[in-house]
């Protein structure tokens, strides 16, 4: 087995009495595109800054390419970063900005110039090479910043919410630029973001952080469909979370009783790692809003609840309906906008929500 | 609508009068420096360059001018360097008693000059440094550095917090980042501060008078001439001093506003 490019072992980072990162264990392989996602203050940016050497871990070890990095100064590392603020040097033009890293490595001027122009060209902004960076548009600045970080051909590129200042349509464009570059160059990307769509669209592996700890790490699909705990289930996607007691276990099929009703699901699949709860145990399960079917007549599904409509949220092609059962439990259902027409959703009365046992996902280790 | 234009007319007139009030004495000094009469009286007599010829021929004036130029150049360099270092310390580091540190740093211009001058004299006499040119330079640096610090600090506050880290991240050591990023970013403020501190030193009288001894600067020479008799030479010297100061201040202002417009785009 080859050594991972990045390995963090039992890393803590404290600022005074505040713990920003706690007992972090993380390995990243060469060529991986990893996204670290979480709300602000979850420790994701601190983790990135520790990789860049801008923060030193309070405890634990950080290795890059096998070398212990704890006390290596930022300028002695080869871990360029793309900043949320971009941090382009305003007194230099686009080309000089890109040349900066090469200049610091004392490369000759003509070579620097050639490499800088190559990279600006590769990112489609060669025509702005001699322009003052302050006069460029957001998207152009973004590309210059990217060229500046990549010109030294690093093994590892750190990206701190690089797209958060861009317009929505530019974000999509830059996402494809980034993924394409990453595949072509084979560089490891560590991408910090609070945006689920950015993380899921680009990353090979997603790490969710909460309160300085890793809440879950896995493929985007696994995180989406099989959240490891309540935090991830609430943070990612649109999930309905139902708590109850296990009433019956038959092999991997279990039945859960809750105030809303009795529900069937399969335990032990995916990320729950074969854990099957015992009868009487308190557990919780997740049913994703897009896996719930909504009908006017009682469907033939493993699980059915009866609800009334509270409100709806319209996001382009998708619509989320908010419903409530008689005992006050809230349900979310996500469906295509065009499916709405067949539902007569403005007509009042009750609706039936149905889902198969296999669609629900048991939250492991979730004592309520 | 009408009342507001009436009001703005009054305010405009008021502003003009204020400027007239402030600049009238200087204007008269300039006018009388070209007047042939020995005493400043109206009506004016004939136009003359006589007083300028006199000061041109006076070795004392040249000596004083040389002293003033040396003192203000050295003060400008030292005060700007010191002001920059202090502003950077404030920008970069957090430490206990930082607000006390800043208050102390900004204190010198608030001390009455005469007190400062006496204190300087007492101190320099004690250490046997009184009457030297460099003792004026030290005293002026103390006086002018806070201005340089204030200007540089304004500029540093406009800097993206990530800029310096970005330089380190791209392989610049701390000193290299200082040279390649911090100083270039602060350049307009540093030039502006250099001009302003030069002007502060060039004009300063009280400290120079107490500390200078035989090494008179221009303002000290002016007082000595005036003490002897009323001599229109003073008007001529005054006009030249005013020209130098206003040039320095305008230059400082130009660099200051240049950077304002640049950072606002």
A164 in contact with B, Cβ within 8 Å: no
Would you call A73 and B170 a contact, using CB atoms and an 8 Å cutoff?
no
In a domain, B28, yes or no: no
A328 in contact with B, Cβ within 8 Å: no
Please state the rounded mean pLDDT for residues A143-163: 94
In a domain, B250, yes or no: yes
In a domain, B5, yes or no: no
Please state the rounded mean pLDDT for residues B241-263: 76
Would you call A87 and B163 a contact, using CB atoms and an 8 Å cutoff?
yes
Q: Which residues of A touch B184 (CB under 8 A)?
A: 89, 91-92
DSSP string computed for A69-130: -TT--GGGS---EE-TT----TTSBHHHHHHHHHHHTT--HHHHHHHHHHHHHHTT-GGGTT
| Three-state DSSP class for residue B265 | coil
Kindly list the distances between the CA atom of residue A21 and the CA atoms of A14, A84, A217, B202, in Å, as whole numbers in the listed order: 7, 20, 16, 56
pLDDT reported for residue B236: 86
Would you call A103 and B187 a contact, using CB atoms and an 8 Å cutoff?
no
Report the CATH number at residue B64: 1.10.3720.10
In a domain, B16, yes or no: no
How close, in Å, is residue B169 to chain A by CA atoms?
6
Distance CA B79, CA B83 (A): 6
How close, in Å, is residue A140 to chain B by CA atoms?
16
Query: pLDDT tens digit string along A279-294?
Result: 888 888 899 998 999 9
Q: Mutating which of B170, B188, B255 best tests the A interface, going by the most A Cβ atoms within 10 A?
A: B170
Would you call B180 and A90 a contact, using CB atoms and an 8 Å cutoff?
no
**Cβ atoms B237, B224 nearer than 8 A:** no
Q: Which residues of B touch A98 (CB under 8 A)?
A: none
Query: pLDDT tens digit string along B39-49?
Result: 777 777 788 88
Would you call A81 and B163 a contact, using CB atoms and an 8 Å cutoff?
no
Please state the rounded mean pLDDT for residues A59-68: 93
Cα atoms found within 13 Å of the Cα of residue B260, Cβ hemisphere only: 9
Q: What 8-state DSSP symbol labels residue A317?
A: T
Query: pLDDT tens digit string along A294-326?
Result: 988 888 888 899 998 888 888 878 889 999 998
Of B160, B171, B265, the CB nearest to A104: B171
User: How many other C-beta atoms lie within 10 A of the C-beta of residue B166?
Assistant: 30
State yes or no: pLDDT of A98 exceeds 90: yes
Mean pLDDT across chain B:
86
Q: Mutating which of B155, B161, B168, B169 best tests the A interface, going by the most A Cβ atoms within 10 A?
A: B169
In a domain, B19, yes or no: no
pLDDT reported for residue A31: 92
Query: pLDDT tens digit string along A17-26?
Result: 999 999 999 9
In a domain, B212, yes or no: yes
B interface with A, Cβ–Cβ below 8 Å: 160-163, 165-174, 176-177, 180-181, 184-185, 187, 262-263, 265
Degrees, nearest 5: CA angle A362-A367-A310: 65
Please state the rounded mean pLDDT for residues B79-93: 94
Kindly list the distances between the CA atom of residue B248 and the CA atoms of B71, B164, B197, B241, in Å, as whole numbers in the listed order: 15, 31, 9, 11
Please state the rounded mean pLDDT for residues A30-53: 93
Would you call A75 and B187 a contact, using CB atoms and an 8 Å cutoff?
no
Number of domains in chain B: 1
Of A83, A91, A135, the CB nearest to B166: A83
Distance CA A210, CA A38 (A): 6
Mean pLDDT across chain A:
89
In a domain, B44, yes or no: no
pLDDT reported for residue A367: 47
pLDDT reported for residue B258: 66
How close, in Å, is residue A71 to chain B by CA atoms?
15
pLDDT reported for residue B264: 40
Please state the rounded mean pLDDT for residues B174-200: 93
First to last CA, chain A: 40
pLDDT reported for residue B73: 95
Q: What is the ipTM of this complex?
A: 0.85
pLDDT reported for residue A368: 40
Can you give the residue range of the structural domain that contains B230? 52-264
**Cβ atoms A53, B138 nearer than 8 A:** no
Distance CA A34, CA B167 (A): 25
3-state secondary structure A286-312: EEEHHHCEEECCCCCCCEEEEEEEEEE
With 0-12 / 13-18 / 19 or more C-beta atoms within 10 angstroms meaning exposed / middle / buried, residue A189 is buried
Cα atoms found within 13 Å of the Cα of residue B134, Cβ hemisphere only: 2
How close, in Å, is residue A101 to chain B by CA atoms?
5
pLDDT reported for residue A269: 60
Cα atoms found within 13 Å of the Cα of residue B126, Cβ hemisphere only: 6
In a domain, B12, yes or no: no
pLDDT reported for residue A274: 61
- In chain A, whose CA is at the least distance from the CA of B162? A87
């Amino acid at each position: 087995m080859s050594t991972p490019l990045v390995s963090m072992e039992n890393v803590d980072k404290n600022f005074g009495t505040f713990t920003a990162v706690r007992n972090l264990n993380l390995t990243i392989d060469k060529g991986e595109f990893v996204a670290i996602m979480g709300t602000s203050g979850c420790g994701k940016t601190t983790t990135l800054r520790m990789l860049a050497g801008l923060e030193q871990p309070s405890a634990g070890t950080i290795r890059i390419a096998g070398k212990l990095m704890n006390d290596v100064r930022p300028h002695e590392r080869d871990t360029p970063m793309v900043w949320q603020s971009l941090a382009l040097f305003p007194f230099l033009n686009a080309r000089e900005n890109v040349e900066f890293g090469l200049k610091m490595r004392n490369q000759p001027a003509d070579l620097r110039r050639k490499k800088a122009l190559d990279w600006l060209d590769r990112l489609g902004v060669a025509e702005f090479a001699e322009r003052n960076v302050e006069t460029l548009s957001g998207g152009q600045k973004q590309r210059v910043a990217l060229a500046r970080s990549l010109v030294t051909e690093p093994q590892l590129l750190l990206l701190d919410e690089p797209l958060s200042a861009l317009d929505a349509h530019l974000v999509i464009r830059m996402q494809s630029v980034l993924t394409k570059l990453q595949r072509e160059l084979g560089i490891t990307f560590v991408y910090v973001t609070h945006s689920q769509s950015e993380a899921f669209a680009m990353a090979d592996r997603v790490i969710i952080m909460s309160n300085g700890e890793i809440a879950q790490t896995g493929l985007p699909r696994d995180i989406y469909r099989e959240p490891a705990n309540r935090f991830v289930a609430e943070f990612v996607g649109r999930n309905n979370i139902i708590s109850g007691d296990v009433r019956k276990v038959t092999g991997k099929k279990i039945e859960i009783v809750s105030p809303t009703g009795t529900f069937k699901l399969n335990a032990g699949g995916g990320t729950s790692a074969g854990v099957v709860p015992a009868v009487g145990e308190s557990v919780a399960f997740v049913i994703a809003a897009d896996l719930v079917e909504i009908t006017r007549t009682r469907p033939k599904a493993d699980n059915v609840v009866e609800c009334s409509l509270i409100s709806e949220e319209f996001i382009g092609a998708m619509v989320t309906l908010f419903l409530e059962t008689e005992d006050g439990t809230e349900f979310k259902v996500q469906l295509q906008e065009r499916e709405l027409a067949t539902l007569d959703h403005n007509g009042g009365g009750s609706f039936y929500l149905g889902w198969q046992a296999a669609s629900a996902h048991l939250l492991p280790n979730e004592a309520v | 609508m009408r009342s507001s234009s009436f009001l703005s007319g009054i305010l405009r007139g008021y502003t003009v009068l204020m400027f007239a009030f402030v600049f009238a004495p200087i204007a008269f000094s300039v006018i009388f420096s070209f007047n042939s009469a020995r005493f400043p009286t109206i009506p004016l007599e004939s136009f003359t360059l006589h007083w300028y010829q006199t000061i041109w021929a006076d070795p004392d004036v040249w000596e004083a001018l040389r002293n003033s130029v040396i003192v203000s150049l050295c003060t400008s360099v030292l005060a700007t360097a010191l002001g920059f270092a202090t502003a950077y310390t404030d920008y970069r580091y957090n430490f206990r008693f930082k607000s006390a540190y800043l208050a102390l740093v900004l204190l010198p211009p608030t001390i009455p000059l005469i007190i400062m001058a006496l204190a300087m004299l007492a101190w320099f006499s004690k250490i046997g440094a009184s009457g030297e040119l460099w003792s004026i330079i030290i005293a002026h640096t103390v006086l002018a550095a806070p201005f340089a610090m204030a200007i540089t600090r304004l500029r540093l506050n406009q800097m993206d917090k990530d800029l310096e880290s970005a330089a380190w991240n791209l392989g610049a050591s701390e000193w290299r980042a200082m040279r390649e990023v911090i100083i270039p970013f602060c350049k307009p403020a540093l030039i502006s501060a250099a001009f302003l501190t030069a002007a502060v030193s060039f004009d300063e009288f009280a400290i120079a008078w107490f500390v200078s001894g035989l090494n008179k600067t221009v303002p000290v020479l002016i007082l000595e001439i005036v003490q002897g008799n009323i001599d229109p030479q003073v008007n001529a010297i005054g006009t030249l001093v005013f020209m130098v100061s206003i040039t320095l201040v305008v230059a400082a202002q130009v660099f200051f506003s240049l950077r304002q417009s640049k950072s606002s785009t």
